[in-house]
Amino acid sequence: MISPGKRQQAHPEKHHPKHPRFDCPEQEVYLNLWRTYDRLRFLEDQLFQSHGITAQQYNAMRLLRAAHPKRMQTLNIAVRLISRAPDITRLLDRLVERGLVDRERPANNRRVVLVGITPAGLELLDRLASQVIDCNRQQLSHLKAEEMRDLIHLLKRARQPHEPEAGDWA
């Protein structure tokens, strides 16, 4: 029985020790990364869908713009994408259909496929430039500059042992 002068204290919700919320600290970190990716990706998806492309297609076009006026081999594009593309051919097919990139096979080696960005692809990237910056700011501008640097450092450390040795991603 509670005495009249004392208020009952609310007990914070406790997790049953036999059933913790996460199986280990690494799982908690991973699931937080996944949740964060999901929330930030939603904003990006809205932007790219309004232009009829995906984030991976945008990423591929940016790689091709960086190489422009030269072309890149299909496999080099696949290796340099931010996220793996199990079917790089289909990704590029859709961009070719829209006239945003084109492909050619050199006469001296028909097994190689070289991909280049078209003027229409360059124009789309130009139209998207400020919108992408606005999206990135919407996603993360609430963080201080030092917090962003720390986060970048931690994310690089987290993925470092899992990056391919030949990879040159930032």
Tokens, residue 99:
């006239």
Taking only the tens place, the pLDDT of each residue in 16-36 is: 566 678 899 999 999 999 999
pLDDT at position 18, please?
Answer: 67
Q: pLDDT at position 31, please?
A: 95
pLDDT band (50, 70, 90) for residue 143:
very high
User: What is residue 30's predicted lDDT score, i.e. its pLDDT?
Assistant: 94
Contact 117, 68 (CB under 8 A): yes
**Lowest mean pLDDT, pick from 11-20, 38-47, 133-142:** 11-20
Distances (CA, A) of 16 to 27, 46, 95: 18, 40, 52
pLDDT score, position 15: 52
Closest of 95, 87, 140, 143 to residue 115, by C-alpha: 95
- Rounded Cα distance between 158 and 161, Å, is 7
- Give the sheet arrangement for strand 114-117, strand by strand: 72-73, 114-117, 101-104
Domains contained in the chain, CATH given: 25-159 (1.10.10.10)
User: Helix H segments across 7-144?
Assistant: 25-49, 55-67, 74-80, 88-97, 119-140
